[in-house]
Amino acid sequence: MTGQMTVPGALTTDLYEVSMALAYLREDMTGEAVFSLFVRKLPPDRGFLVAAGLESALSYLEGLRVGASEAAAFAEALHRPVEDLEPMRGLEFTGEVRAVPEGRIVLAGEPLLEVTAPLPQAQLAETCLLNQLSHQTAVASKAARCVLAAGGRPVVDFSLRRTHGVEAGLRMARLGALVGFAGTSNVAASAAYGIPAVGTMAHSFVEAHEDEEAAFRAFARAHPGPVTFLVDTYDTEEGVRTAARVLRDLGYGPGCAVRLDSGDLGELAVRARRILDGAGLEEVRIVASGGLDEHGVDRLVRSGAPIDTYAVGTRVGVSADAPYLDSAYKLVAYEGRPVMKLSAAKVTAPGAKQVFRGPDFADVVALRDETPPPGAEPLLETVMSGGRRVAAPATLAAARERFEADLARLPEEARRVVDPVPPEPVASEALSRLTAEVRRRIAERVLGGRTAGG
């Protein structure tokens, strides 16, 4: 369908990934490596994250191949003869991926994805995997908080005009639908993903006519179904009165709405509701937009503002208050040898892992082959084997079901928009023992018996 996003290729990587992959190949370091992708800590004002970006990440891995043109581009970037890049020609992803399915709620320190593959392949994939999962998880988590703040009222996506690129706008619309948005203004996303398209009019439409009444009547003539009039081009209350008059004259009612886009939205909604009800238009809805995110929606809902639908755009589409995640993609094992990083504030845990979820999000980060605690379920599933998906791409509906099921189980304090308290996963005894053993090995063999930082 139109609007589908392009799949990045092998050139979508950082130069140092190419440098390392080439060095690995020249040194014949092609043994099995395990890389773990996780978020070190949650952004401020976040009680949880929503795993997202897996489907586009898997599409990237399935198409990851270094051909003649990619090798030539790498050689130019490295200022090397193309012959020097010959070891990389033909490289493609043949590994396994275990991941948390899209839509599931995750916490800091829990792997979203683990790659097991020959070292050069797994290394070359780092940049794009981080890009796909970090951005989409950040945006999905912000959007999910808008749904929570709205308290059951519809939320729609108006973000396309200010997202960081057209593809980011497509992703925002898809992620909004994943966490429960009712629609999007993005026509391409509507066509690509079957999301209901929603929209009203711009102030320019009103300004292009002699007055608001002429604009509203012209719009209604062009769109004989339910209409939404933008009422704040000049004077909001007068705009609502004009909209009410036109709607009554035309016999329009159910499904119609007025949109408030500026000013004190709560107070204006109260006045608009009074005018509409006084005109016998109790069924006409009020839509609010204009710089809203979960914080603005939460304040309006708590104030009792009679707003029926919330349209969120810029702040959500770019995750304005937390535009990035402190994510990492780290080597945790090579040729069966557990490894870890000891840098200050960036210590990693060794070994391939699994996350076991118990009641009330009592999560345990464990080694991959551990037996789950009683009543717990594993979060990471095998989604790719031999470089190919093990199942058809997950649907938006399935991802949304997973999100809704996890959200229903999430502790109330983590769901709060203001001052949330996230659950904190713990390490299993076996993982803690392995971490201590690997730390001792590093101290003995690398640091000459000294502890890290000593």
CATH assignment of the domain containing 264: 3.20.20.70
| Domain region containing 259 | 199-288
Half-sphere CA count of 140, side-chain side, radius 13 A = 28
Same domain, yes or no: 215 and 278: yes
Q: In this structure, is residue 150 part of a structural domain?
A: no
Q: What angle do helix axes 265-278 and 236-250 make, rounded to 10 degrees? A: 30
Q: Which CATH number do you get for residue 54?
A: 3.20.140.10
Same domain, yes or no: 408 and 343: yes
Q: What is the total count of domains within the chain? A: 2
Q: In this structure, is residue 35 part of a structural domain?
A: yes
Same domain, yes or no: 134 and 240: no
Q: What is the pLDDT along the chain (454 residues), one digit of tens a residue?
A: 445 667 789 999 999 999 999 999 999 999 999 999 999 999 999 999 999 999 999 999 999 999 999 999 999 999 999 999 999 999 999 999 999 999 999 999 999 999 999 999 999 999 999 999 999 999 999 999 999 999 999 999 999 999 999 999 999 999 999 999 999 999 999 999 999 999 999 999 999 999 999 999 999 999 988 999 999 999 999 999 999 999 999 999 789 999 999 999 999 999 999 999 999 999 999 999 999 999 999 999 999 999 999 999 999 999 999 999 999 999 999 999 999 988 766 789 999 999 999 999 999 999 999 999 999 999 999 999 999 999 999 999 999 999 999 999 999 999 999 999 999 999 999 999 999 999 999 888 876 666 555 4
Same domain, yes or no: 38 and 126: yes
What sign does the dihedral 435-438-444-447 (CA atoms) show?
negative
Instruction: Give the integer Cα–Cα distance in Å for 427 and 432.
Output: 6
Same domain, yes or no: 112 and 45: yes
Residue 157 dihedral angles phi and psi, to the nearest 5°: -95, 120
Q: In this structure, is residue 168 part of a structural domain?
A: no
Domain end residue (candidates: 288, 309, 338): 288
Token digits for 156? Answer: 């729609």
Same domain, yes or no: 20 and 133: yes
Residue 400: count of CB within 10 angstroms of its CB = 17
Q: In this structure, is residue 79 part of a structural domain?
A: yes
Q: In this structure, is residue 444 part of a structural domain?
A: no
Same domain, yes or no: 250 and 330: no
Is-contact 442 343, C-beta < 8 A? no
Q: In this structure, is residue 449 part of a structural domain?
A: no
Domain end residue (candidates: 288, 310, 344): 288
Residue 92 DSSP symbol: B
Q: In this structure, is residue 436 part of a structural domain?
A: no
